[in-house]
Amino acid sequence: MTTETFTLARRLRAGDTVFSAWCGLPEPLVCEAIAREGFEAVVVDMQHGMWDEPAAMQAVAQIHLAGAAPVVRVPLWHNSLVSRMLDWGAEGIIAPMINSEAEARAFVQVAKYPPVGERSIGAHRAAMIARVPDQKFYIPEANTTTLSFAMIETQSAIDNLDTIAAMPGIDVLFVGPADLSFSLSNGATLDPHSAAVDAALEKVLAACDRHKKIPGLFCRDAERAMNKAKSGFRFLTVGSDIIFLRAGAAAQLKALK
């Protein structure tokens, strides 16, 4: 018996492109409703979103039961949450601001079991979510059935792209274009679509190609996501729950005028 219900890693490793939703509102039902519209993955954003741990644990289960892959972005420098969220059934973990080889290694230590890292044993909830009898079935495959996303969002990360991408156990280089634009311009420009960001995206694609890693990108809308999927990015997030909600409310209000 295998963890066949974990589909995201298998699909991305096979070369598929996956579009994901992104949720910051701390309500599992919002994630479930969005997943049920047909998104293939949903990110629970514990960095800038308002999630606490019990709600995030519930969201992971509800996203999975709604047929999408749950991915969690942990808060900055919260490596202890990485294996916790994997233990609760996340198929992928996004770690913000991975700027150096040492930070990539520290992330892998908690995200992957030996011999790749030192993730601690205790995946009882993940085994339930994966619908296997117990963790003995989940653990041997977990290094390949779950994904580590290193966020590339600073000048230092761009400078250290090759050592981050080469790190065994880092599966995805996931670009945060807002922080990246701010860092590349030394705090002068916040523009996720800037020419400097686009140039850095080409470097990320090339590093992924060299090191056989999966390129990912945060996008504010479907147009940008489609456009960047064409250039080679394969895990693309589209908007967010709050963007969808505000756009829906604004459109209805406008129609009343």
Instruction: State which of positions 31-70 bind ligand 3PY (CB under 6 A).
Output: none
**Contact status: 216 vs ligand 3PY (CB under 6 A):** no
Residue nearer to ligand 3PY on the CB measure, 23 or 61 = 23
Of 65, 44, 75, whose CA–CA distance to 240 is shortest?
A: 44
Cα-based angle 55, 61, 67 (whole degrees, multiple of 5): 135
| DSSP letter, residue 188 | S
- Letters for 134-163 (x = contact with ligand 3PY by CB under 6 A, - = none) are -------------------x----------
Return the sign of the alpha-carbon dihedral for residues 145, 86, 168, 117. Answer: negative
SS (H, E, C) 115-171: CCCCCCCCCHHHHHHCCCCCHHHHHHHHHHHCEEEEEECCHHHHHCHHHHHHCCCCC
Q: Which does 239 bind (CB under 5 to 8 A by kind): ligand 3PY, Mg ion, none?
A: none
Peptide bond into 133 cis (omega under 30): no
Instruction: Select the residue interacting with Mg ion from 177, 179, 192, 217 (CB under 5 A).
Output: 179
Which window, 2-10, 74-82, 85-93, 171-179, contacts ligand 3PY (CB under 6 A)? 171-179
Q: Which residues pair with 215 in a beta bridge?
A: 173
Quickly tell me which residue has 């709604």 as its tokens: 66
Which window, 27-35, 107-115, 163-171, 175-183, contacts ligand 3PY (CB under 6 A)? 175-183
Of 117, 166, 171, whose CA–CA distance to 147 is shortest?
A: 171
**Contact status: 218 vs ligand 3PY (CB under 6 A):** yes
Q: Which residues belong to the active site?
A: 48
Q: Which does 39 bind (CB under 5 to 8 A by kind): ligand 3PY, Mg ion, none?
A: none
Residue nearer to ligand 3PY on the CB measure, 43 or 126 = 43
Q: Which does 103 bind (CB under 5 to 8 A by kind): Mg ion, ligand 3PY, none?
A: none
**Contact status: 177 vs ligand 3PY (CB under 6 A):** yes
Of 113, 120, 144, 117, whose CA–CA distance to 130 is shortest?
A: 144
Return the sign of the alpha-carbon dihedral for residues 45, 46, 49, 50. Answer: positive
Q: Give how many residues touch ligand 3PY by CB under 6 A.
A: 7
Q: Give how many residues touch Mg ion by CB under 5 A.
A: 3
Q: Which does 218 bind (CB under 5 to 8 A by kind): Mg ion, ligand 3PY, none?
A: ligand 3PY
**Contact status: 45 vs Mg ion (CB under 5 A):** no
Q: Which stretches of the chain bind Mg ion, using CB under 5 A?
A: 153, 176, 179
Q: Which stretches of the chain bind ligand 3PY, using CB under 6 A?
A: 153, 176-179, 192, 218
